[in-house]
Every structure is written in structure tokens, then in C-alpha cells.
Amino acid sequence: MIAVGSGPALTSALRISAAVFVLFSLSAALTLAQQPYERPVTTAPQAKDIGGGYQVPAVQRTHPRSLAVHVLDVVLLTAGMAAVAWVSRRGRRRWVVTVVTLASLAYFGFYRQGCVCPIGATQNVAASMVDPSLAAPMVVLVFFLMPLAAA
């Protein structure tokens, strides 16, 4: 007669429990191994700290983009999403998806020198919903809502 709680099932349960215990022990040891870090300074160095005739450069800010460029960004995002959606559902041509991906990378990544990613758009929208002093630009809202609407 086989007793309840013995045999291969108990052996595998013990092995899994031992493995989980070892993993938790190792992760606890890694957390204890971290060294606390304190920043040595609280502010950026000023001219008197550096010495000599050093002058602190003026803060450089980029000029805002025109409305036409924002509209072009939204149109290109819409066209790219529509092309990939149509090809994925009907056309079954992987090369089109690859071309749209590379074109998006070239335009949004290199030519435009970056754009609002899904994580950044989510953070901007969430921050503007919580803090009334912050406002998310319309382009950020469109970049946030278009993939949600497409899904």
C-alpha cells in the first residue's frame, strides 16, 4: 500500500522547495552586498569652485517644433500603423513590415532625433492627469492614444 505524501511527487516537491529557498537566500545575500551611495556634492560646480576665468555657459534650449511637423509626425505614425496592420491581417508580406520598421526607425529615431516612446507618453499623460500644473502636448496624447485605439 502506498502512503499518502510519499514517492516521486514528494521528491519533486522537495526539490522545488529547496530550489526556491536557495534562490531567495541568494537574492537576500545580493541585497545585503549592495553598498550605499551618497552623492559627494549637492549642486553643480560654479565658476568660483572651478577657478580661473571660467564662465558658466548659458542654458541651451531647443526651439519648439512647428505645428506642420507635429502633424507630419502624426500622419506618418498613422500611415505606418495602418500599413503594418493591413499587411499583418491581409497581405502577409513580412518585407513590408520590415520596411515600415526601418523607415520608422530612420525618421522617428535618427532624422527627428527621438520621439515620445510609449513609456514616456504614458508617464507624461499620467503626470498631467495627477498634477494640474503639468500639461501633456497634443502630440503626446495622440502618440499615447493611437496605439490603444488600434489595439
pLDDT at residue 56 greater than cutoff 90: no
Is the model's pTM score more than 0.85? no
pLDDT at residue 100 greater than cutoff 70: yes
Place 106 in a pLDDT band, splitting at 50, 70 and 90: very high
The mean pLDDT of the chain is 82
SS3 115: coil
Q: What is the pLDDT of residue 135?
A: 86
pLDDT at residue 76 greater than cutoff 90: yes
Place 63 in a pLDDT band, splitting at 50, 70 and 90: confident
The mean pLDDT value for 94-112 works out to 91
Q: What is the pLDDT of residue 58?
A: 82
Q: What is the pLDDT of residue 95?
A: 92
Residue 144's region, left for phi above 0, alpha for psi from -120 to 50, else beta, is alpha
The mean pLDDT value for 45-74 works out to 80
* Side chain identity, residue 32: L
Burial class (CB in 10 A: 0-12, 13-18, 19+), 16: exposed
Using alpha carbons, list the distances in angstroms from residue 26 to 36, 59, 68, 74, 89: 19, 46, 55, 48, 46
